[in-house]
Amino acid sequence: MSAEPAPAVSADNPLLAESPLPYGLPPFADTSLEHCREAVLAGMAEQRAELAAITGSAEPPTFVNTIEALERSGALLRRAEAVFGNLSSSLSSPRLREIERELAPLEAAHADALRLDPDLFARVDAVHAARHSSGLDPEAVRLVERHHLDRVLAGARLDAAGRARLSELNRELSELSTRFGQNLQLATEAAAVRVTDAADLDGLAEEEVAAAARAAADRGLDGFVLPLLLPTGQPVLAKLRDRELRRRVFEASVSRASSGEHDNGPVAVGIARVRAERARLLGFATHADLVLADQTAGSTAAVDAMLARMVGPSVANARAEAAVLAEVAARDGVTELAAWDWAFYSERVRAERYAVDRAALRPWFELDRVLVDGVFHAAELLYGLRFTPRPDLAGYHPDVRVWEVSGPDGEGVGLYLGDFTAREGKRGGAWMSSFVTQSRLLGTRPVVVNNLNVARAPEGRPTLLTLDEVDTLFHEFGHALHGLSSAVTYPRFSGTAVPRDFVEFPSQVNEMWALWPEVLGHYARHVETGEPLPAAVVEALDAARLWGEGFATLEYLAATLLDQAWHRITPETEVGDPAEFERRALEEAGVAVDLVPPRYRTTYFQHVFAGGYAAGYYSYIWSEVLDADTVEWFTERGGLRRENGDVFRDRLLSRGGSVDPLEAFRAVRGRDADPGPLLRRRGLVPTSP
Q: Residue 67 is part of a domain; what is its CATH number?
A: 1.20.1050.40
Which of these, 634, 688, 611, 597, lies nearest to 512 by C-alpha position? 634
Domain boundary among 543, 566, 581: 543
Give the contacts of 530 (CB within 8 A, at least 6 positions apart).
none
pLDDT of residue 7: 80
My answer on whether 501 and 460 are in the same domain is yes
Q: What is the pTM of this model?
A: 0.90
pLDDT of residue 5: 66
Query: Exactly one of 172, 476, 511, 582 is catalytic; which is it?
Result: 476
Q: Tell me how far apart the alpha carbons of residues 533 and 522 are, in angstroms, rounded to a whole number.
A: 10
Q: Quote the percentage of the chain above a pLDDT of 70.
A: 98
My answer on whether 527 and 657 are in the same domain is no
Distances (CA, A) of 80 to 68, 351, 644: 21, 50, 38
* More confident: 455 or 140: 140
Active-site residue flag, 476: yes
- Assess if residue 185 is contained within a domain: no
- Assess if residue 2 is contained within a domain: no
Domain boundary among 157, 183, 216: 157
- Assess if residue 6 is contained within a domain: no
- Assess if residue 267 is contained within a domain: no
CA dihedral defined by 526, 527, 530, 531, rounded to 10 degrees?
-10
- For the segment 614-618, the average pLDDT, to the nearest whole number, is 97
pLDDT of residue 459: 85
Which of these, 116, 305, 275, 283, lies nearest to 613 by C-alpha position? 275
- For the segment 509-528, the average pLDDT, to the nearest whole number, is 97
- The answer for 202, left when phi > 0, alpha when psi is -120 to 50, beta otherwise, is beta
- For the segment 238-251, the average pLDDT, to the nearest whole number, is 98
Q: Exposed/middle/buried for 431, CB within 10 Å: 0-12, 13-18, 19+? A: middle
My answer on whether 413 and 530 are in the same domain is yes
Q: Tell me how far apart the alpha carbons of residues 5 and 16 are, in angstroms, rounded to a whole number.
A: 16
CA dihedral defined by 456, 459, 463, 464, rounded to 10 degrees?
-100
Which of these, 431, 481, 471, lies nearest to 612 by C-alpha position? 431
Find the CATH number of the domain harbouring 432: 1.10.1370.40
My answer on whether 427 and 522 are in the same domain is yes
My answer on whether 325 and 381 are in the same domain is no
My answer on whether 569 and 494 are in the same domain is no
- For the segment 209-237, the average pLDDT, to the nearest whole number, is 95
pLDDT exceeds cutoff 50 at 171: yes
Q: Tell me how far apart the alpha carbons of residues 338 and 322 are, in angstroms, rounded to a whole number.
A: 10
CB 272 within 8 A of CB 567: yes
Domain range spanning residue 602? 287-354+546-681
- For the segment 229-245, the average pLDDT, to the nearest whole number, is 96
pLDDT of residue 356: 86
Q: Tell me how far apart the alpha carbons of residues 81 and 273 are, in angstroms, rounded to a whole number.
A: 27
Pairing of strands 412-421, 401-406: antiparallel
State the average pLDDT for the chain. Answer: 95
Find the CATH number of the domain harbouring 566: 1.10.1370.10
pLDDT, tens only, 424-437: 899 888 999 999 99
pLDDT, tens only, 459-484: 889 999 999 999 999 999 999 999 99
CB 184 within 8 A of CB 257: yes
Q: Exposed/middle/buried for 689, CB within 10 Å: 0-12, 13-18, 19+? A: exposed
- Assess if residue 648 is contained within a domain: yes
Burial 329-348 (b: 16+ CB within 10 A, else e): beeeebeebebbbbbbbbbb
Task: Provide the H-helix boundaries in 9-68.
Answer: 33-55
| Angle, helices 33-55/118-129, rounded to nearest 10 degrees | 60
My answer on whether 556 and 591 are in the same domain is yes
My answer on whether 564 and 520 are in the same domain is no
What amino acid is encoded at 585 in this protein?
A: A
Q: Tell me how far apart the alpha carbons of residues 60 and 71 are, in angstroms, rounded to a whole number.
A: 18
pLDDT of residue 85: 95
pLDDT, tens only, 559-575: 999 999 999 999 999 99
pLDDT of residue 477: 98
- For the segment 663-670, the average pLDDT, to the nearest whole number, is 97
Pairing of strands 193-195, 401-406: unpaired
pLDDT, tens only, 650-660: 999 999 999 99
pLDDT, tens only, 110-135: 999 999 999 999 999 999 999 999 99
Q: Residue 687 — very low, low, confident or very high, per pLDDT cuts 50/70/90?
A: very low
- For the segment 491-515, the average pLDDT, to the nearest whole number, is 97
Query: ∠ CA(114), CA(288), CA(290), 5° rounding?
Result: 35
My answer on whether 196 and 118 are in the same domain is no
My answer on whether 33 and 121 are in the same domain is yes
Domain count, the chain: 4
- Assess if residue 180 is contained within a domain: no
Q: Tell me how far apart the alpha carbons of residues 688 and 237 are, in angstroms, rounded to a whole number.
A: 36
CB 51 within 8 A of CB 87: no
pLDDT exceeds cutoff 60 at 1: no
My answer on whether 371 and 344 are in the same domain is no
- For the segment 358-374, the average pLDDT, to the nearest whole number, is 95
Question: Where in 196-265 does DSSP place strands (E)?
Answer: 224-226
pLDDT, tens only, 389-409: 999 999 999 999 999 999 999
In this structure, the chain runs to a length of 689
Domain boundary among 520, 543, 566: 543
447: three-class secondary structure by DSSP: strand
- For the segment 566-590, the average pLDDT, to the nearest whole number, is 96
My answer on whether 24 and 153 are in the same domain is yes
Give the contacts of 619 (CB within 8 A, at least 6 positions apart).
295, 500, 501, 502, 503, 504, 613
- Assess if residue 262 is contained within a domain: no
- For the segment 497-520, the average pLDDT, to the nearest whole number, is 96
- Assess if residue 256 is contained within a domain: no
